[in-house]
Amino acid sequence: MASDPIASGSGSMDVDSEAPPSTSHANGVIDLSQSRRPRASSVPLQPSNLKVGYIYSSEMMNHFSPHGHPEQPLRIQQIWATLVNEQLHKRMKWMPIREVVKGEALLVHSEDHWNKVIAIQYLTDQQRADSEEYYDQMSLYVMSATTRSALLSCGGVIEACLAVARDELKKTFAIVRPPGHHAEPDEHMGFCFFNNVAVAARVVQQRTALKRILILDCSVNIPWPEKGMGDAEYIYAFQKVILPIATEFAPELVIISAGFDAAAGDELGECLVSPAGYAHMTHMLAGLAGGRLVVALEGGYNLDSISQSALAVTKVLLGEAPDELPPLKANAEGTETVWLVAREQSKYWKSVDPKACEPQADVEPISFSIPEILKAHRQHYLYTNHDMMQIPMMTPELEERFSSQIMCTSDMFENKTLVVFVHEFGNLRLELDSSASCDVHLERSYLIDFSKQLVGWVKSEGYSLLDANLYPKPAVATNLRHKTMEEVGRDVLMYLWDNYIQLSSAQRVILIGHGPGCKPLVDLVSRRTTSVTKSVKAIIQVLGPQRMPSVPADVDDARTWYQKSSLVIVPQSHPVLGPSIKPKDIRRHGVMLPIDEPRQIKLIARALPAIKEFVHESLSSFPLANRTNRLP
């Protein structure tokens, strides 16, 4: 999600003498006052006092891919049908569409780019077939009607903007395609041929007195680090970054590049913005620039999502209040990203205050969280009582977040049997998932008691131990690209596998995961199938009540190996044991053992005898040649 407020200069450039039909022009300047076509008999007579207009033409549907494509004609047809079904078109003024002319396009694009788009209409069937791979690389498809549709799409946005800039209308909605916001000055790409909004902004600056134009484009300057962002994160970004910048900029015209890619249900955008969320964002922008607002359709490829989102936005344009939203709270990744953007934008905009959106973890740098204290206490115990050593991480960022959390016994590289224990001990949220309260003192006691039992068993059997706590310390972020905790945990485990476990002498490896530590283990099987299935003799997952067991990707017989080598331990009340679960779905996890204990830390302590027995049985099928775990 992003805002791209721009204030373009008003540099002069004469418009090319080419003009659309029925348009008079002199001295290279188009007189659009004479370009209005007579009303067709199919167009209803409308009152002259309407303040909101729309641009729409079914002719833009002639650009299509015979093989099917997300950017399909039905996108605008379904939006239009939804507005008609709700009778909103009767409250809006119909505006005739026209083609963009060369001089207008050249305000943004190069002449070579213009010529490329114009030439598309003249391609023969064979030429289109020969160039299909080229256009695929640009995320485009072309046909004979592509040029006309692209010209109309851009011209339609220009007309929508000029009508508002000249105070003929207060607000307009350009229901156009193909979209435009990915098109660059010298290149068409990403479903787009002309950058409709950029061209329209330049035309407005040249032909009217308006110069300060704010363009809000949902793809430029606030880069979400992961999918799944919804109303809370988008509105948080609006409140903390976009509106402060927009207010300080004081635009004379606002243009929304309305990409509905972020709508819930869109498979390309993979975000969760609701129609009400889009309506609220539009409502916030409608108070700028004296109410002069243009909405130009860009992306969005789920037909139901874009039609409902467009409906909600149109209602706001017509003066209706947006639907009520529930209480919202942005997630950690969203708030951190907005803070990072605010830090950067505050260099250029006085109204952006990064401190106002600083993540809570960084507000009190001299304090320590309870999870950090619990982790440190356990790590100190392992170091002082069992001589376990710290494993350094590969990058400063990972070292900062996981220092002293990856520990091993001193014989890890020489021992032929290695137990790898992956967990998030100290993460109190795990206990709160299964209990209404969490006693910190009891939690500390459980951590130490189980650690004693685990290390005692490993040592008594003569095994080595690698203990990986994947619950990271709070990050002090220094760049804009941040991974989820799950992705970071997976990367750490693969690093340990590639650089430590595989380089050790271990011929028999036992993988044990607890809570959130289970998923990275299963991901490791999927990503390192050959080496894992060769040396790992058992994989054990101890899951809390809220987590479903994972199975590896079905590559190189990984699932067959997994089923033979797996033990899954769950609370007796776990959903995976519910009546709706089929027996075959349970069997694919190998051995599944329910235990009557909902608390996660107590669950693994009670499961330890079963873990020992399963490991013993698994290793008995793979005896060591010299009958000892140590190197000769």
3-state class percentages of the chain: helix first, strand second, coil last, to nearest 5 = 45, 15, 40
Examine the domain organization and report whether 272 and 393 are in the same domain: no
First to last CA, the chain: 60
pLDDT at site 630: 55
Q: Name the region of 588 (left: φ>0; alpha: ψ -120 to 50; beta: rest).
A: alpha
Examine the domain organization and report whether 312 and 376 are in the same domain: no
pLDDT digits (tens, 9 = 90+) for 508-551: 999 998 888 888 999 999 899 999 999 999 999 988 765 677 78
pLDDT at site 210: 96
pLDDT digits (tens, 9 = 90+) for 439-485: 444 444 555 566 778 888 998 999 999 988 887 776 554 443 567 77
Taking the C-alpha atoms of residue 28 and residue 288, their distance in angstroms, rounded to an integer, is 33
Examine the domain organization and report whether 61 and 164 are in the same domain: yes
Q: Is the dihedral of CA 581, 584, 587, 589 positive or negative?
A: negative
Helix (H) / strand (E) containing 315: helix 303-317
pLDDT at site 156: 97
Number of domains in the chain: 2
What residue has token string 């009767």?
90
Residue where a domain terminates, one of 303, 328, 353: 328
Examine the domain organization and report whether 451 and 573 are in the same domain: yes
pLDDT at site 437: 42
In DSSP terms, 539 is beta-bridged to 511, 566
DSSP letter at 167 equals T
Tokens standing for residue 549: 């067991």
Beta-sheet strands, E only, within 281-373: 293-297
Cis omega (within 30 of 0) on the bond before 244? Answer: no
Examine the domain organization and report whether 279 and 413 are in the same domain: no
Taking the C-alpha atoms of residue 421 and residue 463, their distance in angstroms, rounded to an integer, is 12
Beta-sheet strands, E only, within 530-612: 536-542, 566-571, 591-595
Q: Given the DSSP bridges, would you call strands 253-258 and 171-174 parallel, antiparallel or unpaired? A: unpaired
DSSP reduced 3-state for 170? coil
Examine the domain organization and report whether 610 and 508 are in the same domain: yes
Sequence-separated (6 or more) residues with CB below 8 Å from residue 606: 595, 597
Q: Tell me the mean pLDDT in the region 104-124.
A: 95
Examine the domain organization and report whether 396 and 496 are in the same domain: yes
Q: What is the CATH number of the domain that holds 307?
A: 3.40.800.20
Examine the domain organization and report whether 506 and 380 are in the same domain: yes
Amino acid at 390: Q
Taking the C-alpha atoms of residue 221 and residue 97, their distance in angstroms, rounded to an integer, is 31
- Is 377 annotated in the active site? no
Q: What is the CATH number of the domain that holds 459?
A: 3.40.50.1820
Given a cut of 90, whether residue 566 has pLDDT beyond it is: yes
pLDDT at site 586: 81
Structural domain includes residue 138: yes
- Catalytic pick among 63, 182, 280, 589: 182
Examine the domain organization and report whether 395 and 508 are in the same domain: yes
For residue 271, the enclosing domain spans 52-212+251-328
φ, ψ of residue 587 in degrees (nearest 5): -65, -30
Examine the domain organization and report whether 184 and 258 are in the same domain: yes
Given a cut of 50, whether residue 319 has pLDDT beyond it is: yes
Structural domain includes residue 235: no
pLDDT at site 122: 94
Structural domain includes residue 339: no
Contact 28, 104 (CB under 8 A): no
pLDDT at site 34: 39
Structural domain includes residue 361: no
pLDDT digits (tens, 9 = 90+) for 581-595: 778 878 888 899 999
Helix (H) / strand (E) containing 420: strand 417-423
Taking the C-alpha atoms of residue 577 and residue 570, their distance in angstroms, rounded to an integer, is 9
Q: What is the mean pLDDT of the chain?
A: 83
Q: Tell me the mean pLDDT in the region 261-280.
A: 92
Quickly list H helices, 387-471.
396-402, 428-434, 440-461
Structural domain includes residue 147: yes
Examine the domain organization and report whether 305 and 453 are in the same domain: no
Concatenated DSSP letters of 23-51: -EEETTEEEGGG-PPPPPTTSPP--TT--
Examine the domain organization and report whether 303 and 403 are in the same domain: no
- pLDDT range class, residue 140, cuts 50, 70, 90: very high
- pLDDT range class, residue 38, cuts 50, 70, 90: low
Structural domain includes residue 2: no
| Helix and strand numbers, DSSP H then E, in the chain | 22, 17
In DSSP terms, 538 is beta-bridged to 510
Q: Tell me the mean pLDDT in the region 30-59.
A: 66
Structural domain includes residue 587: yes
* Of residues 628 and 351, more confidently modeled: 351
Structural domain includes residue 34: no
